[in-house]
Amino acid sequence: MKLREFAQQLGLSPTTVSRALSGYPEVSEKTRKRVAEEASRLGYRPNINAVRLATGRAGAIGVVMGRSGEFHFSEFMGGLAERLGTEDIDILVSPIDDKDPKGEIQLYSRLAVSGRVDAVIVHSPEPNDERIALLHKLGMPFLVHGRSDIDVPHAWLDIDNEGAIRRATSHLIDLGHRRIAMINGRKGRTFSLHRDKGYRDALQARGIPFDPRLVAHGNFTDELGFRFARSFLEQTPRPTAFVAGSMMTALGIYRAARSMGLEIGREVSVIAHDDVFPYLTAENMVPSLSATRSSMRAAGARSADLVLQLLSGRPTEEVHELWPVELILRESTAPPPEDA
Amino acid sequence: MKLREFAQQLGLSPTTVSRALSGYPEVSEKTRKRVAEEASRLGYRPNINAVRLATGRAGAIGVVMGRSGEFHFSEFMGGLAERLGTEDIDILVSPIDDKDPKGEIQLYSRLAVSGRVDAVIVHSPEPNDERIALLHKLGMPFLVHGRSDIDVPHAWLDIDNEGAIRRATSHLIDLGHRRIAMINGRKGRTFSLHRDKGYRDALQARGIPFDPRLVAHGNFTDELGFRFARSFLEQTPRPTAFVAGSMMTALGIYRAARSMGLEIGREVSVIAHDDVFPYLTAENMVPSLSATRSSMRAAGARSADLVLQLLSGRPTEEVHELWPVELILRESTAPPPEDA
DNA sequence: GCGATAATTTAAAACGGTTTGGCAAAACAC
DNA sequence: GTGTTTTGCCAAACCGTTTTAAATTATCGC
């Protein structure tokens, strides 16, 4: 049913009906109520594409999905979708080929120009992120999940990676560890840099020299966790503790330690970052995994909120949110063995 | 820039330009080429919402995302997005609260009525799936990822769950196992039923009685894998082998076996289904995991293809695809120990 | 009860394309 | 050279809303 017919049945003009449904003040309460009732009775729904054309709004926000190791992606999306489910806003997913770094910037460009989204979310930014510069230049509203040092105003939601890793590392030092390895995320991403900084600062605060041979960067996969952990553990003296970037990395570290006959929580301590997944929990690992924790799903939900705020006019400079990260100690952390 | 202005610059009518860009035959090759060139030179792009309004097409396909344990979701989405990236079709993600089974059918209903999608993808169907009946009734094109026994024509893409599990189970029997436990997916889903059938048939073919105490159903989480495996292994006599529904389940089983001092690949054999994730690979587990394997990402990409075919008029009855599943034997499977 | 003001409602013009039906010009048959 | 097709292009109608500007009706002060 079209607006025209519907309005006719009500004995009103299309204008009034439209205003009534959109909650404009120029229509009397009585009329509004009648319109709302009849609409649900007769099942009238405005044609979404006509609305979008007329308003110039796309009614969607864009999310760019990387190709590799994005297991936290569905959690973030879940949160996003959860929050947006009640609004009339869609989520538009675009894929990006990780291997072609040029392609990504083009993709954002297309996304912005195409008018299919009202805003986009940028993930895993870099300190000087081209995408942010581009979106700002194009005037497309966007929220950064993470942060950037770039000299361009941008709204962001980030977790306190630096503080989390500083605390985790400090805790390991408190326990007596001196050789602490760090398996971090992809080089060049802001969150990796922040984590690096937290790690270094914690060491420095206790006068422990930084050893580049104990730090590795890479995607959050079980395989890299294993390979890096393995190569670190083959050094002499070997590290007595690990700080790791993800649950998958932690799985790899557990595996590596086990493959070398080392007992986690006694000979090797591990703290990893946990994004909180329903299908793999730090608490259930054996031994249970000490973790810095922050819910990816919650971040997704909040991101949706913030984007909506941006779209309804809240100034970019106001939208900065830094979330604290919990440190949860479990069995995988303990003082180093006597002989280490 | 609008079509009007663009056409004017070319000295053509909007009609001709529109046709030229859409590849209609009524326009000469020379003109078409000129239009295409100028379009990219001047950066003209049709307004997507105007196109959608005029054509009545939504230009998007819908995917409903469950809330729990959906770690394979991002892989499927990745495949989908990859294939759809080249088309002018968006992916629209809608969330569903798993706890409210009534909500899901309503969501599909809204999705279909709202006109925001041209087609939807239905996941993890049941033998008599309400959603399928609904979509058929509403005349909304849809592709089922999985299959249903329902008496309603539906296009589907499925993997041969039954055959895969039959082979896996048979292989374990060949190795000498007699007490084989099965940790399957959620009860009531077609794929779980198919796997159950494959399991039972394999047993029956060898005259091994079916023991309901060796079968469990539930979400694909590490935790459930652990709990079920643990309780099975506490039985006497205990099972000597496991067939499991997912990588996460396998992690749980590994953990359970280890927690009871049992060696996987010697005292306990395991075969799990592997959807192929970049961040967690069966080959890298210790011991490496024997698996039935089928790429979720490939299924996503192919699903996109099939949906496009449906939309361009291919009859539903023709769109049925059953994918064979590889069985890859690694270290986690071996003959049962002598004393078992 | 009248003019002024406020509260409602409406007709018509966007929004930016696609598509139908028609009309010249060019190509063809004879 | 005439009548018939075919080819290439165009004017106008249409898709279903929102929104602007104007018209109507209700309310109010006096």
Q: What is the 3-state secondary structure (H, E, C) of chain A?
A: CCHHHHHHHHCCCHHHHHHHHHCCCCCCHHHHHHHHHHHHHHCCCCCHHHHHHHHCCCCEEEEEECCCCCCCHHHHHHHHHHHHCCCCCEEEEEECCCCCHHHHHHHHHHHHHHCCCCEEEEECCCCCCHHHHHHHHHCCCEEEECCCCCCCCCEEEEECHHHHHHHHHHHHHHCCCCCEEEEECCCCCHHHHHHHHHHHHHHHHCCCCCCHHHEEECCCCHHHHHHHHHHHHCCCCCCCEEEECCHHHHHHHHHHHHHCCCCECCCEEEEEEECCCCCCCHHHCCCCCEEEECCHHHHHHHHHHHHHHHHCCCCHHHCEEEECCEEECCCCCCCCCCCC
Q: How many CB atoms lie within 10 A of CB B214?
A: 21
In this complex, do A251 and B248 lie within 8 Å of one another by their Cβ atoms? no
**Please, what's the b/e burial string for B280-312 (b: 16 or more CB within 10 A of its CB; e: otherwise)?**
bbbebbbbbbbbbbbbbbbbbbbbbbbbbebee
The pLDDT of B95-115, averaged and rounded, is: 78
Output the pLDDT for position A84. Answer: 86
Chain A segment 146-205 residues within 8 A of B by beta carbon are none
Residue B68 has pLDDT above 70, yes or no: no
Q: What's chain A's Rg over C-alpha atoms?
A: 25
Residue A67 has pLDDT above 70, yes or no: no
Q: Does at least one atom of strand C sit less than 7 Å from the CB of A26?
A: yes
Sheet with A326-328: list strands edge to edge. A215-217, A180-184, A241-244, A269-274, A290-293, A326-328
Domain spans of chain B, in order of start: 3-42, 56-159+296-323, 161-294
Structural contact between residues A304 and A208, judged by C-beta atoms closer than 8 angstroms = no
In degrees rounded to 5, what are phi and psi of residue B291?
-150, 150
- Contacts with A165 (C-beta within 8 Å, 6 or more apart), sequence order: A182, A194, A195, A198, A199, A202, A243, A292
Architecture of domain A58-159+296-323: 3-Layer(aba) Sandwich (3.40)
B56-159+296-323 placed in CATH 3.40.91.10? no
Residue A159 has pLDDT above 80, yes or no: yes
The pLDDT of A287-291, averaged and rounded, is: 96
The pLDDT of B62-72, averaged and rounded, is: 76
> Closest nucleotide to residue A10 (Cα to C1')?
C9
Dist CA A172 CA A191 (whole Å): 21
A161-294 placed in CATH 3.40.50.300? no
Whether A58-159+296-323 shares its CATH topology with A161-294 is answered: yes
Output the pLDDT for position A340. Answer: 58
pLDDT top residue among B88 and B138: B138
Chosen for mutation from A226, A279, A288 (greatest number of chain B CBs closer than 10 Å) is: A279
In this complex, do A95 and B114 lie within 8 Å of one another by their Cβ atoms? no
Q: Specify the range with the lowest mean pLDDT, choosing from A20-24, A323-327, B15-19, B178-182.
A: A20-24
Which of A49, A85, A286 is facing B259, going by the closest CB pair?
A286
| Tens digits of residue pLDDT in B199-235 | 999 999 999 999 999 999 999 999 999 999 999 999 9
Q: Name the band, by pLDDT with cuts 50, 70 and 90, for residue B99.
A: low
Average pLDDT, chain A: 92
Output the pLDDT for position A23. Answer: 85
pLDDT top residue among B244 and B92: B244
Q: B3-42, what's its fold?
A: 434 Repressor (Amino-terminal Domain) (1.10.260)
- Reduced to 3 states (helix: H, G, I; strand: E, B; else coil), residue B157 is strand
Output the pLDDT for position A100. Answer: 67
